[in-house]
Structure 1
Amino acid sequence: MATSFNFNNQQVDGIQKAPLWIKNGLDKEAILFAEYFGKELSPEGLGNKEALTTSQIRNVYGEVQRMKMKGFNKSELLLLKPRLAYLTERKGTIGSKDFRKVIEKALDEVLNGKDEKEMELRFQNFANFFEAILAYHRSFGGK
């Protein structure tokens, strides 16, 4: 399963850990996971047929970047989940399904903030996490 890896003799499951990274901020383990996950989602990790393609998530990433520039908007953030579902399930690759699982958990944690200020802080962590995964994905040949 591409959503977990071994770090310091411990299994790190991105689906379980992503909410903690979004709530508490990214740490070394989160960045190592982003590197591992980005590689696993790429053609180098899954092969060309099952890899996540950048075009599958470009619209979602573009929305995240726009929100970073304009400021947090809960309504716009809520719309990311259906967009992510559509874009990643359209082709239904292993890479797109694994990506969706991790990113949806991270999105849910943003929305679990107790108030707007906390949600905005969590959104910044989410945006950084998303960006790290995509940067590593691209560096390992993701297209």
Structure 2
Amino acid sequence: MGQYRERSDNRGRSDNNEIGKILDEIGKLEMLKDLSIKLIADENGYADKIAHTLRNMKTAQLRRFFGAIKLIERTIEEENSEKAWDEVEAEFYLLKPKIAYAKGRKLIPEEFYQVLKVSLNKINVGTNEDKIENFKRFVKFLESIVAYHKFYGGD
């Protein structure tokens, strides 16, 4: 992941190298639902490491994207069937240009854009039931990033 600048934190690790490793691990998965909650949410887990690199990112940007995700999640829960994915698929695909727009305007850092892009590519895989489970795991992942971002003092 040579496109990232190295930046060390007080725990002695390179943030961007850590993000590169996370991107590689997510990229190896067949589906996002295969990503363990422990790896996502544990202290020093993926969400913690990602949030640490985002500590200078405005919370408004994180919340804006998170709001769009939660709206899709509510629609899935209301449908409560395998057809739920059919109801949200268009909105799901529209997430990609939203993050590209935010990246293009420099509202989100490259690392966060890459994490979102790699994760989103692991959602629309398998049956509709798999896609819903993948999406739900993505929601948990993003919720954990938001929580750790707040912990690190995100404004």
Q: Which has the higher strand share?
A: 1
Which residue, out of 126, 141, 146, partners 1:129? Answer: 141
Q: Which moved more, 1:61-70 or 1:17-26?
A: 17-26
SS in 1 for 2:123: helix
The equivalent residue for 2:65 is: 60
- In structure 2, runs of 5+ residues without a counterpart are 1-5, 7-14, 77-84
Aligned-residue sequence identity (percent) comes to: 24
Relative distance call for 1:60 and 1:12 in structure 2 (3 A) is: closer
Normalization by structure 1: what TM-score? 0.77
- Taking the aligned partners of 2:37 and 2:57, their CA distance within structure 1 comes to 25
Post-superposition Cα deviations, 1:44-73, rounded to whole Å, max 9, x if no partner, equal xxxxxxx22222232221010111111141
What does 1:84-95 align with in structure 2 at a 5 Å threshold? 84-91=99-106
Contact 1:3 1:15 (C-alpha < 8 Å) held by counterparts: no
Shift of residue 26, structure 1, vs aligned partner: 2.5
Q: Which runs of 5+ in 1 are unaligned?
A: 6-10, 43-50
**C-alpha separation between the residues in 2 aligned to 1:4 and 1:27?**
22
- Give the one of 109, 126, 130 matched to 1:118: 130
**Structure 1 residue 4: Cα displacement:** 4.1
Q: CA RMSD in A?
A: 2.2
* The one of 33, 36, 39 aligned to 1:26: 36
What is the rounded CA distance, in whole Å, between the counterparts of 2:103 and 2:61 in structure 1?
6
State how many pairs are aligned: 127
Computing the radius of gyration from Cα coordinates, the structure with the larger value is 2
The match for 1:16 among 12, 24, 35 is 24
Q: Secondary structure at the match of 1:109?
A: coil
| Pairing of 1:36-115 with structure 2 (within 5 A) | 36-42=49-55, 51-71=56-76, 72=85, 73-91=88-106, 96-111=109-124, 113-115=125-127
Partner AA of 2:103 in structure 1: T
**Displacement, 1:77?**
0.6
TM superposition score normalised by structure 2: 0.72
2:122 match: secondary structure: helix
Q: In structure 1, what is the Cα distance between the partners aligned to 2:115 and 2:63?
A: 16
